[in-house]
Amino acid sequence: MPRTFSRFVLPIVFSVLVGAFIGVRLADPYPVASLRLAVFDYYQKLMPRTPQPAWQEMSPVIIVDFDEKSLAEYGQFPWSRHLMAKLVDRLNDVGIGAIGFDILFAEPDRASPKSVIASLQAMNYALPPQVSAGLAGIDFDQIFAESIAKAPVVLGQFASREATVLTEKRANETSVKAMLGGDATPLLVRFGGVTHNLPIFEQSANFRGLLSLSDEIDDVVRRVPLVAQVGNVAKPALSIEMLRLALGGNMLMLKSDPSGIHAVTLLVRGKHLDVPTNAHGQVWVYFATPDRFNTPDNSGRMYVSASDILNGTYPPEKLAGRIALLGTSAAGLVDLRNTPVSPRLPGVEVHANIIENILAQDFLRYPAWMELIELIVFSVGLILAIFLLLRVSPWISVLVLLLFIGGSAGASVYLYQAEKMFFDASFPILSMFGLYALMTFWRFRQNALEKQQVRSAFGQYLSPALVEQLAEDPSKLTLGGERKEMTLLFCDIRGFTSISEAYRENPEGLTALINRLLTPLTEVILRHEGTVDKYMGDCIMAFWNAPIETVGHASLALHAAQEMHLALAKLNHALAQEAEAEGRAAQGINIGVGINSGTVVVGNMGSDQRFDYSVLGDAVNLAARLEGQSKNYGVGTVIGEDSRALLPEAEQACLFELDLIAVKGKAQAVRIFTSLLGLSPEQRQTAMVHQQVFLLAYRGMQWDEAMRLAEVGAALNISEIQDYYNCMMERIAQYCKVPPPADWDGVLRATEK
C-alpha cells in the first residue's frame, strides 16, 4: 500500500502542486506582484544609483524650484504669467538646453490686465475709457506664449484614465515617427485622454510631453511610460521630449518584437540613443539618493531656487546647456510621490532621474525573457524540492534546499549590483519554503501512519529488529502479495525421530535442545539479512529479498548455510562436553540444508482470521525437496542450479556438481550442487577436476570406471564429499545389477522426498 501510494498517487499530487504554484506565478496576483516589487524597492533603497563623478556637485539636470524662498519674495503661487515669462527669458538668455514644465497652464491668468478688466466689467464696475483702453492691450498669457515660442520649452500635459475631448488642433501629432517590429501602439500604457494647456501655449510650444507617472498597484512610482497611448496616438513623456529637444534629436522610435516593446530609441544626429523598457514601453526609474531641497543655500545637487534665477544671483555659467525642469517643493504645493528611495519625493525629481538615467545610459532592466528564466528556475526548484523530500533524508534535503535558495538570492543580488538587472527570487524562495513545510508535515504524518501500519501488520510474525527496519522505510514493503525473485532455504534435523525417542521421558529437554539449535541457526540467518518465515517442528524455513530488497541474496543464503554448519559443529562440541561431564553417551545433531532461487509470490497468506507473511511458488517446493535430498547424497547442503546462476563467478567456482535429479513430483530435471567454500583452493581444484571425470564415466554408463573413480574420490579424504562418493558407489552397484535403459539421460528420478 505505501509503495503503491507513492508510485501512483504522489506524482499526481505533486504535479498538481507544481502546476498550482506555476499558475499562481503566471497569474501574478497582487500579493505575488507586491512581494516582487517590494524586493526590487529594497534593492534600490539599499543600493541607489550613484551619479557620475562629474555630476556629484552639479547635475546636467536642474530643478528650478518654486520654493518657500521664491514664494516669500515674489508672492503666492501660481505666479502671474508675466513673471513666468521673465523666468523663461532669463533661462533662454543664459543658453539653457531645454526647459520643461512640470506644471499645467490650463486656465487664463487671472492677474492679467485683460482678465482683470473683464472681471470688473462683469461686476458692472466701469473704469475710465483711457484706462480700459491702455490695459486691454496687455495680456500676460500672450507675453508668456511669446516667451515660450522663443525658448526651448517643453510643455507638460496631464494624461488621465478617463476619456477627454481632444480640442487641441495638434492632438494627433506625435514625435514617435517610426516603429521597428510593427505597430506597437496597442502595447503601450493606455490613457483615455489628455488635459492640455491653453491653446495659445500649445500653439506656441513645439514640444509637449506627458506628465503622468502611472503609479503601481501599491501607489509607488517605479516604472514610468516613456511613450503612452492616448486615444489611438502614441505620445511621449516630458522627460524624453526634453532630451529630444536638448540633444537636437529629430525622431523617436519604438522597438518591439513578439514579446512586446523592448526599447524607445531617440535618433540624435544619426546615432541611436536606446532606452530599454518593459513590454509596455515603461522605463524602470533608477533612483539616486533623494536630492536635498527646500534649503536656504540651494545646497542640493539639482535644486535651484526660482528667485535666484529671476534675481540673477545664480551664476549664469552654471546654467548654460543644462536641462531645466520647473516645479515646486513648497509646502502645500509640492506634488509628492511615493518611490522606492523615499515615500515623499517631489514628482519633478522623478523626471530628473529619468533624464539622468538616459544621459548616463545607466538603467535598471527587467526584460521579458527574465520572467521565463525565473519560471524555469522556479520550476526546477520545486521539482528539486519534491525529489529531495521524497528521495533523501530531511537533513540532506534541507542542506540542498538552502544552497539552492541561497544561490537564487545571491544571483538576484549579484545581477542587480553588477548588471543592474532584476531577478525575482522572492516567490520561488517563499514557495519552496511553503512546499517544504507542507511536504515535511505530510512526510512525517505519512511516516507515522506507515510505521504504525507496519508494526501492526508484521509484529506478530517478524522479528522486532526487522519490523523496526520496515517501519523506518515502509516503501520497501508491498502488502497483499507480489512477484519477486527470491532465494529460499530449508533446514531440517536428520534423524529427528530417534532424537525424540531418546527424550521420550523428558519432552522439556527436547524442547530445550531444539531451542539451543534453532537460536544460533536463526541468528546466522538474520545476520545474513534473511527472514525466518516459520519454524516447523525441527525445520526452519527462511528466505531472502523480501520484505526488504536484498542485493546478492543467493550469495547471502549460501554463506548463511556455510555458517549454519559451523554453528552446528560448535553446538555438537558443547553437547559432547556436557555428555562427558554427565557420564553419558553424546548424541550429536546433524542437519540438511536445501537452497533454491526463483520467482515466487510473497505477501500475506492465509484467511481473514489468521494470516502469515510467506511465499508460494514452485521454487519454494523445489527448495524443500533439495533439503530432503541432502541425506541421499551424503552432503550438508544441496543447492539448485537457479541459485548457482545468481552467484558471482568466484562463488560459482566453489560449487561441486552432484547430479542431475528430477525430485519427487517433478518431471523436469535440475542440476544440483554442494558447497566447498571451506576447502583450500588446492583441495577444491582437485575435487572439481576429479568430479568432472567421474560424472563423464557415470553418465556414460561406464560402471566399472565410475566405480573406480568413486573409490578414488572417497579416498581423497575430503569430508564434505566423502559420504557423497560412498552413496554413489551404492547406486553404481545397484545399476550394475539392474542397468538403466540404453537411452538413459543420466537423470535420477527420485521416489522419495
| 441-471 pLDDT per residue, tens | 776 777 777 677 666 655 544 556 556 666 6
CATH number for the domain spanning 554: value is 3.30.70.1230
Residues 397 and 272 in one domain: no
**DSSP H helical segments within 583-652, as ranges?**
618-633, 641-645, 649-652
Residue 195 backbone dihedrals phi, psi, to 5 degrees: -95, 120
Residues 23 and 172 in one domain: no
Choosing from 454, 488, 505, the residue where a domain stops is: 454
- What pLDDT shows up at residue 473? 64
- What pLDDT shows up at residue 4? 46
Using one digit for the tens of pLDDT, what is the confidence trace for 231-240?
Answer: 888 899 999 9
Q: Report yes or no on 170 lying in a domain.
A: yes
Distance CA 173, CA 182 (A): 19
In degrees, to the nearest 5, what angle opens at C-alpha 303 toward C-alphas 300 and 304? 115
Q: Report yes or no on 366 lying in a domain.
A: no
Ranges of the chain whose pLDDT falls below 50: 1-5, 166-171, 460-461, 609
Please name the residues in contact with 288: beta carbons below 8 A apart, sequence gap of 6 or more.
48, 49, 50, 51, 341, 353, 356
Residues 107 and 249 in one domain: yes
In degrees, to the nearest 5, what angle opens at C-alpha 663 toward C-alphas 660 and 669? 40
Distance CA 316, CA 330 (A): 24
Residues 563 and 686 in one domain: yes
Choosing from 326, 360, 394, the residue where a domain stops is: 360
Helix, strand, or coil here: 647?
coil
Q: Report yes or no on 79 lying in a domain.
A: yes
Which grid cell sits at 466?
526487522
Q: Report yes or no on 365 lying in a domain.
A: no
End-to-end CA distance of the chain, in Å? Answer: 38
Residues 383 and 409 in one domain: yes
Cβ 60 vs Cβ 300: under 8 Å: no
Q: Report yes or no on 566 lying in a domain.
A: yes
DSSP 259-325: TEEEEEEEEETTEEEEEE--TTSEEEP-PBSPPP-S-TT--SSSEEEHHHHHHT-S-GGGTTT-EEE
In degrees, to the nearest 5, what angle opens at C-alpha 248 toward C-alphas 247 and 253? 90
Bridge pairing between strands 207-210 and 153-160? parallel
Domain that holds residue 677: 480-749
Which grid cell sits at 643?
541459485
Q: Report yes or no on 459 lying in a domain.
A: no
**What is the rounded (10 degree) CA torsion for 228, 234, 236, 237?**
-20
Residues 121 and 10 in one domain: no
Q: Report yes or no on 515 lying in a domain.
A: yes
Residues 7 and 70 in one domain: no
- C-alpha 601, offset from chain centre: 39
Distance CA 673, CA 352 (A): 94
Residues 310 and 386 in one domain: no
Residues 537 and 683 in one domain: yes
Query: Among 13, 48, 46, 38, which Cα is nearest to 430's?
Result: 38
Domain count, the chain: 3
- What pLDDT shows up at residue 558? 97
Helix, strand, or coil here: 561?
helix
Q: Report yes or no on 467 lying in a domain.
A: no
Q: Is the peptide bond before 48 cis (omega within 30 degrees of 0)?
A: no
- What pLDDT shows up at residue 638? 97
- What pLDDT shows up at residue 167? 42
Instruction: Kindly report whether the global pTM for this prediction surpasses the value 0.95.
Output: no
Distance CA 677, CA 651 (A): 8
Residues 422 and 532 in one domain: no
- C-alpha 614, offset from chain centre: 42
- What pLDDT shows up at residue 119? 60
Residues 208 and 255 in one domain: yes
Residues 339 and 420 in one domain: no
Choosing from 320, 341, 360, the residue where a domain stops is: 360
Distance CA 407, CA 403 (A): 6
Cβ 386 vs Cβ 18: under 8 Å: yes
